Homo-oligomer: A and B are copies of this chain.
Amino acid sequence: MSQQLLANLALHVVLSPEEQEQVLSAMHRQAVNKRTVLVQPGKTERHIYFVDKGCLRMFHTDTDGHEHNLCFFPENWWASDIASFFKAKPATNTIQAMEDSELCCFTLFDLENLFNQIPKLERFFRILTQNGFDMFQRRVTSNLSLTAEQRYLEFRRHYPGLEQRINQKDIASYLGITAAFLSMMRKEKNL
């Protein structure tokens, strides 16, 4: 399971075998059951998670108690409430397992130590954060200028194969429409 994490890091930085060892020794493993809540609004998020197996979701609960899915984290995604984690301030969103999942996790303390030991990891997390930024910026612009159908097609491109693993309600919540509307749209448009 560590191989997947190392392969992910290798996307942006080249680590020596010693540096790979340092990363792995700072890492904790965590297996969680479906529906386990990892991050809660109001609590300071102490971990960043790399999804080795399974899938997590991040959602926002509005003042009426409705949940809005912001993001899914299937295999090879890094999950955290970024602002809460890196600034050690209370999270605004919830992160929950959608399936039984296996995670690699790092505390902020461990990660800051790794940044000191292996400064090029800053590069990895800079690029990771840029990609996350890109994704969120696209969500803002998609909500402003794409139709529900276009957003649905974007979701399928963005998360290949995920549709078969999660329920319609969760997809609809991500798209900002009702499950009934999603179902109707798919039938009508033959999607």
Contact = CB atoms under 8 A, between A and B. Distances in A.
A105 to B, nearest CB: 18
Contact of A83 (B60, B122, B126, B134): B134
Main secondary structure of the interface of A (DSSP, over half): helix
Contact of A129 (B60, B63, B133, B140): B133
Nearest to A61: B145
Interface string A116-159: 00011011011101111110111111011100000000000000
A77 to B, nearest CB: 15
Interface string A90-122: 001100000000000000000000010001101
A62 interface: yes
Contacts of A122: 119-120, 122-123, 126
A55 B70 CA distance: 30
A82 interface: yes
The 9 closest A-B pairs by CB, nearest first: A62-B145, A83-B134, A126-B126, A122-B122, A136-B136, A129-B129, A60-B141, A133-B133, A68-B144
Interface of A: 60-63, 68, 70, 82-83, 86-87, 92-93, 115, 119-120, 122-123, 125-127, 129-134, 136-141, 143-145, 176
